[in-house]
Structure 1
Amino acid sequence: MDRQENQCPYVVGNTIKLHLKTKDNEVLTDARIIKLFEPFTLSSVMVVRISCSDLTLEGDMVLKLFDRRFATQLRKDEKLRPWTSDIESNYHQFVLDGGASQFITELNNNGDIAQQGETWNSSQDEAYLHDHLSDLYEIEVRVYDTLRDMQVNDILQLLAFATIPGCSLAEMQPASQYIEGFPLTDIADHTPRECWQSICEEAIEILHRMGDHGILNEDVKTRSFIVKKDTRAESGYKVVMIDFALCNFRKDYADNVDWSEAKAIQDEEGAVGLIMQDRLEGGFVYRRSNRYKKPADYYK
């Protein structure tokens, strides 16, 4: 087996072909990888540079690929074999034979099968990953659609969808605007102390606005916020949130009580406020909003 066949193509300096699609047009173009956000977790995230006048897309954009082959952290968490070209060949045959669709149908309809993951073969592993990451992709796109009025200002702007020709990654992948900045986690290294309070409060306010739009984020982390310089902002800095694959939606809950309890238990704002208060050692004071209160029996 050629070792190169098993190497990840997502490397700085590599050029990949992308089929880009917007609501008005679509085109095949080259994209040069100029930055990676590693380690890859649920998705392979990178900055690519394109020049696509047909779509009026020029410059750098963030490409987020829900590529099961290189979802390194997910494969590790699920205790799955590292991807190889042999595994891919076997999986393709599994798809062609109809085994993959049958397996996923059974998996989605029978909870017992999900408990038997340790007995699955590599093709079943790949089918599971493909199905799982497809679900995450659909959630992320649904969040972007729900938060249309927050794009650009509070979250990244979704610019286009992309596929990689000839790749088993069949679904469209989100491509969004790229902003120069640093994670909220690192504001002590990049901003004056007097700005910390307002920056952290802005991150929490973004979560509140998402909640007002009926979004619950199960994966809020301080690194999910990018801080950039902005002379228009009072503090001189603007906060933008990223990563929405692990979200739930208000309409999926029975009623307002069920929704409010889920929001309170998840404690999204605490995931930012408590962490940053501890990290900044007095430079930020977290004031809980009490927008959502945990049910009384939660503490029993």
Structure 2
Amino acid sequence: MASCSPFEDYQVGQVLTLSVIPEHGEIRSASTVRARIRQLQNPRTLSCCMIVDLLGEGCPENPVFLKLYDRRFSEQLRRDHGIDPWTRDAEKEYINAVWTGAARQFLRNLQTIPNFEEDTGETWDDGQIETFLTDQAYKLFDAETTVYDTLPDIQGKMVPRLVACVHLALSLPNTGISHTDAAELLHIKGILLQYIDGFSLSKVQDYAPKSEWQSIVDQAVAIVQVVGDHGILNRDVRPDNFIVQRDRSGCYWVFMIDFGLARLRGWNESDRDWAKAKLNKDEEGAVGLVMKKRLAREGFELRFENSDRYMEWAGGDDE
């Protein structure tokens, strides 16, 4: 069900009609949900994030968090691939590529021809570039959905609850492609998550008393370990990807977010290869060592029970 123009950005107050992708999350019976945008979040990174209210009987009263993997406005996604900001003209080229079938053929080449991106990337037109970004956005969605499906036991405790996987169809009147296989390439995939009202771990010194800093960082490191115990390797572990929430009793709880750059351990990945991959990414150090250095500027020394493990941490890049 279409509800959004391909040529317009999101606006506060806008109501989006989202089709529910079955077999994921808490919403299983509804085929669509309507979401009114309450707040847009900036900057936009690998996805477009917003706080929304779900409308209709049976919907939760509290706001939820919507992440749309929208190649058009995901600034970091475009920047990471050296691609210029989105334009209406580029979108017209993309729609034409979808309409003619050129987009599907391009994706087949991208996925089956060795070194296709490296060999042809410099010659891509706007339609092909947007098709490439669509593929990248879908990969981010698939990665994040897979991780949440793998973590049902810690949802709502260490990571947000997955409310639903959804897609937003772009409205294209008079194109004649709304019911064809190509229509999927005009879908913006996304996830609805429990909204955690809190602050980033990277700003703990601004929002929590010093007496709580050690406990909060310890929670973040423990979450990294638990997620890893589920056979997940996250390439994007950093303080900004943790949200700290203070409950009514004054206790602080930490949640890990953003799994678009995570992967599961391969079924044939040996213990040695998996250990090497984990060591190379050094997820614990990306939190522990970075926060140790950051809080040292505030005259605070973080301590870790396993000091030998701390000395092995190879992190240290403060960003």
1:1-300 equivalences in 2 (<5 Å): 8-20=8-20, 23=23, 24-54=28-58, 56-115=59-118, 116-167=120-171, 169-170=186-187, 172-230=189-247, 236-252=251-267, 254-281=269-296, 282-286=300-304, 287=306, 290=309
- Cα gap change, 1:50/1:289 in structure 2, threshold over 3 Å: closer, same or farther? farther
Q: Is the 8 A contact 2:160 2:195 kept in 1?
A: yes
Q: Distance in 2 between matches of 1:48 and 1:131?
A: 26
Specify the code of the residue in structure 1 equivalent to 2:159. Answer: I
- What is the TM-score of this pair, normalised by structure 1? 0.87
CA contact (8 A) 1:66 1:173 kept: yes
The count of corresponding residues between Structure 1 and Structure 2 is 286
Alpha-carbon shift at residue 242 of structure 1 (Å): 0.5
Structure 1's 288 and 259: CA in aligned 2 closer, same or farther, altered over 3 A? farther
Q: TM-score, normalised by structure 2?
A: 0.82
| CA 6–65 in structure 1, closer or farther in 2 if over 3 Å, else same | closer
Distance between the aligned counterparts of 2:277 and 2:195, measured in 1? 32
| Contact 2:45–2:74 (Cα < 8 Å) also in 1 | yes
| Residue equivalent to 1:297 | none
Structure 2 unmatched ranges of 5 or more: 172-184, 314-319
Q: Partner of 1:298 in structure 2? A: none
Relative contact order higher in (CA < 8 Å, ≥ 6 apart) = 2
TM-fit CA distance, 1:26: 1.8
Local SS of the residue matching 1:45? strand
SS in 2 for 1:150: coil
Amino acid at match of 2:168: I
SS state of the match for residue 82, structure 1?
coil
Could you report, residue by residue, the CA deviation over 1:67-126 in whole angstroms, capped at 9, with x for unpaired residues? 111111211222223222222222122122221121112122234321132221101101
Question: Counterpart of 1:33 in structure 2: which amino acid?
Answer: I
Separation of aligned partners in 1, 2:234 and 2:30: 31
Farther-moved stretch of structure 1 (260-269 vs 279-288): 279-288
The structure-2 alpha-carbon separation of the partners of 1:59 and 1:19, relative to structure 1 and needing over 3 Å to count, comes to: farther
Contact 2:41 2:50 in 1 (8 A): yes
State whether residues 226 and 239 of structure 1, in contact with CA within 8 Å, keep that contact through their aligned partners in structure 2.
yes
1:249-273 CA-to-partner distances (Å, cap 9, x unmatched) read: 1125520110011101110010001
Q: CA deviation at 1:57?
A: 2.9
Q: Report the secondary structure of 1:73's partner residue.
A: helix
CA distance in 1: counterparts of 2:29 and 2:220, whole angstroms: 34
Q: Which moved more, 1:269-278 or 1:27-36?
A: 27-36
Deviations 1:150-197 (A, max 9, x none): 100000000112222435652642101102100001111111111111
* 3-state SS, counterpart of residue 164 of structure 2: strand
| Superposition RMSD in Å | 2.4
How far does the alpha carbon of each residue in 1:226-277 deviate from its partner, in whole angstroms, 9 at most, with x for none? 0001357xx8100011000101211255201100111011100100011100
Does the residue aligned with 2:10 lie in a helix, a strand or coil? Answer: coil
Q: For 1:111 and 1:39, how far apart are their aligned partners in 2?
A: 35
CA distance in 2, matches of 1:59, 1:146: 25
User: Larger deviation: 186-195 or 88-97?
Assistant: 88-97
Which structure 1 residue ranges, 5 or more long, are not aligned? 295-300
Q: What amino acid maps onto 1:119 in structure 2?
A: T
Identical pairs, percent: 38
Distance 1:46 1:33 in 2: 7
